[in-house]
Amino acid sequence: MSLSEQSNPSEQAEKKIYLPRTSESENLKKIRHTTSHVMAMAVQKLFPKVQVTIGPWIENGFYYDFDSPEAFTDKDLKAIKKEMDKIINRKLPVTREEVSREEAERRIKEINEPYKLEILADIKEEPITIYHLGNEWWDLCAGPHVEDTKQLNPKAIDLESVAGAYWRGDETKAQLQRIYGTAWENPEQLTEYKRRKEEALRRDHRKLGKELGLFIFSDLVGPGLPLWTPKGTLLRSILEDFLKQEQIKRGYQPVITPHIGRVDLFKTSGHWQKYKEDLFPMMAENEEAANHEQGFVLKAMNCPFHIQIYKSELRSYRELPIRLAEFGTVYRFEQSGELGGLTRVRGFTQDDAHIFVTPEQLDSEFLNVVDLILSVIKTLKLDQNFQARLSFRDPASDKYIGSDEAWDKAESAIRRSVETLGMDHFEGIGEAAFYGPKLDFIVRDALEREWQLGTVQVDYNLPERFDLEYVAEDGSRKRPVMIHRAPFGSLERLVGILIEEYAGDFPLWLAPIQARLLPVSEVQLDFAKEVAAKMRAIGIRAEVDISGDRLGKLIRNAEKEKIPIMAVIGAKEVETNSLSIRTRANGELGTIRVDEVLDKIKESVKNFEKF
């Protein structure tokens, strides 16, 4: 799988992926871009010593980076917003001006803005474009913007926070202050945005992960390296077991590969040349080896290792397809500022598989993989709103390897598949992995955010680079085609998405603890333990609350921990060999015999249903 991806083999895996924007969003882009300029103008009016750097629009808002001698406070943000309102209400025209590079440089030096000189040096096109707010403030900018500030609504704009940022994203350069804001067409949209933002905070997987005891981070271990608690490990294992069972049904063979490998392995694959800076530093046995880039690095992708397993013996066409699957842990040297909970980490486990097929088998095997991914999305209840993205290469880019012919064949195979299935899809030019195009599945979560989940790639290039062969029916040696696929992506990222999708209230089959038995008093404790043992014996994840608290607190604690099934046990339940069942899904179900409860739980889990 490609290297710069996080949760799966896609090029931008751990980041949010957004679908093509509507015309309304184009208008919001102009509003937000213009509002960022208004904010920068307000900041420099209030704080004349502050220098501006860059200020783009982003999803849901905008930001500007400032070099300020003093840290901005909440009080400063209120003053900046008040000044912005004044600027907007003046109905200043927003005008575009074209100037020569020399004139732009002269003006920048005149106002002593060194950051703008660096930005100017990076602009290759001419003439240089400048956008003005009235006759008082300007910045280098390509646009687009609204025509004047009267098209901005002060009541639909808010400043949200201040964060640290490095100039050019480089930790060795100046530390800047980034002010984030949001802007909308009307106050109603701002209100809805704030509601969704509050809901996002309620669902935040970092907060819920701690409350539910699923994972932790340790400064002593290091950032971006999650530690999974027993409950979190159970959750991961449930997901792994689910997919492993599906893979066994479909003819996949499990493999395990090391956590480190020789640099030469990644040079052959091309990952070293393309993504050397994203690999953890090389471990060399001596200085001479280090100078010649000979040593070991932490595994950042699984595909070169699986290729070695395929290549370990000569294969016959009769053996193909060969499907090698691994939940392989990989490591990426992400910048600390890019890390975020489980959704962007430095160590993560991919549900990776690599399928080696004859050219004639490519289409049918690709469709089989798509069927698996769709099945996974449906089981996880993420199938309500998703699209498929055909991630193809940008012919103008030099980041790709392989011949035009190989790329054309691979892209055609992907296009044939989505057309055969009649899938809703769009093309993402430039989103391909460096060795092959992909079909990426983009799902929309409960907060209307879009994420890339599963992915499947067609690869003619790595079999060529590693000189892979099989013996064809006529006895000749031929080159197989590789399919890379990951229905989950990374387990870490998937768990983060699922925590937020379910707000920590996992469906019964996925819940780390499915049932908690609540004895009313110590008298019922032995019976509760016997029932829990019966449950565990048939695969139900059950536990007994032995705290001795009053029943009301036992129930509240179970509710807080989002346990799907609570079974209250009093004297009557012991006498009748039954349980008083209360569920999060359906409330009070009354008193039910133990055997019936066990059968019903098993059946519900088997069918991925509520109890």
DSSP readout, 326-344?
EEEEEE----GGG-BTTTB
587: number of Cβ within 10 Å: 8
Catalytic machinery residues: 303, 332, 350, 352, 354, 438, 484
Segments of the chain scoring below 70 in pLDDT = 1-24, 285-292, 337
Inter-residue contact 216 to 185 (CB < 8 Å)? no
Distance between CA 451 and CA 529 in Å, rounded?
42
Inter-residue contact 443 to 385 (CB < 8 Å)? yes
pLDDT tens digits for 181-204? 999 999 999 999 999 889 988 999
The CATH code for residues 231-259+299-499 is 3.30.930.10
pTM over 0.75: yes
Distance between CA 329 and CA 333 in Å, rounded?
14
Distance between CA 150 and CA 73 in Å, rounded?
28
Inter-residue contact 344 to 14 (CB < 8 Å)? yes
Start-end ranges of CATH 3.40.50.800 in the chain? 515-606
For tokens 């009053």, the residue is 550
pLDDT of residue 126: 87
The CATH code for residues 23-203 is 3.30.980.10
Ramachandran area for residue 268 (φ above 0: left; ψ -120 to 50: alpha; else beta): alpha
The CATH code for residues 515-606 is 3.40.50.800
361: number of Cβ within 10 Å: 18
419: number of Cβ within 10 Å: 10
102 burial level (CB within 10 Å; 0-12, 13-18, 19+): exposed
Strands (E) across 292-411 are located at 296-298, 315-316, 322-331, 347-357, 386-392
pLDDT of residue 292: 60
Distance between CA 251 and CA 244 in Å, rounded?
11
Inter-residue contact 339 to 15 (CB < 8 Å)? no
Classified as helix, coil or strand, 491 is helix
Start-end ranges of CATH 3.30.980.10 in the chain? 23-203
Start-end ranges of CATH 3.30.930.10 in the chain? 231-259+299-499
Name the strand (E) or helix (H) holding 189: helix 187-203
pLDDT of residue 3: 41
Given strand 578-583, what is the order of strands in its sheet? 542-544, 515-519, 565-569, 578-583, 587-593
pLDDT tens digits for 446-473? 777 788 888 999 998 899 999 999 999 9
pLDDT of residue 607: 92
